[in-house]
Structure 1
Amino acid sequence: MLFAVLCKDKPDSLQLRMDTRSEHVAFLNDLNARGVLAFAGPFLDDAGKPNGSLVVFKLDTIEEAKTTAAADPYAKAGLFAEVDIKPWNWVFNNPQA
C-alpha cells in the first residue's frame, strides 16, 4: 500500500533543512534500497526555495508509515510544522501499472 507523507516546514527553517539535508538524503537512499520509497521531493515557495516535503512510502500499514516518517532526520531535527500521512492510490502514470 502507498502512503503519502505531506510535510510543511516551520517558518524560517531553511537553514535547518540545509544543515540536515545530507542525513535526510541518506535516510531516503536507505529506504529506496529496501524498496520502501516510491518517490520524494520538496515543495517550493515562490522564490523556488524548499518549504516542505512530499514523500511516498510503500508499506503495509499507516502505523509503519508513521514510524518511518518519524525516523526521518528532518522530523527528528524538528523541521516540520505539520505532517499529514494519508493512504494514497497512484492511478495515472504509475510506472508499476
Structure 2
Amino acid sequence: MPFLIETFDKPNHQALRLEVRQAHLEYLDANVNLLLACGAKLSDDGETASGGIYLVHLNSREEAERFIEADPFHQAALFAEVKIVRWRQAYLNQKNTL
C-alpha cells in the first residue's frame, strides 16, 4: 500500500543536508524498488531544499516509519518533523490508475 512521507528540515541546516546528501542518495538507490516517487521540496527560486516527499510502496505504517528512520538524513537529525499518511494513487505518469 502506498504511503506519503513528508519531511521538514530543521531551519538553517542546509550545510548538514549537503554533507549527508550522497549517503541519502545511495540509500534511495538501494531501496529504489520501494519508491513510487521521491524528491526534495525547494524554495521558489529552486535553490534551497527544505525537506522532501517520498511516495513509497510498503505494507504498513510501521514499515514506512522504519524506512524513513533508516534514511541517512533522518539518522543525521536533519528533520524537524516527519509526517506519514496512507495515500491512494489515482494518477501516475499522466494515467488514471484507479
Residues 39-54 of structure 1: pairs in structure 2 closer than 5 A: 39-48=37-46, 49-54=48-53
What code does the residue aligned with 1:45 have?
A: S
In structure 2, the partner of 1:4 is 4
TM-score (norm 1): 0.91
1:96 Cα deviation from its structure 2 partner: 8.6
RMSD: 1.5
Report sequence identity in percent: 34
What code does the residue aligned with 1:9 have?
A: D
TM-score (norm 2): 0.90
1: distance between equivalents of 2:87 and 2:58?
Answer: 11
In structure 1, the partner of 2:92 is 93
Q: Which runs of 5+ in 1 are unaligned?
A: none
1: distance between equivalents of 2:92 and 2:28?
Answer: 22
Residues 1-97 of structure 1: pairs in structure 2 closer than 5 A: 1-32=1-32, 35-48=33-46, 49-94=48-93, 97=97
2: distance between equivalents of 1:65 and 1:54?
Answer: 13
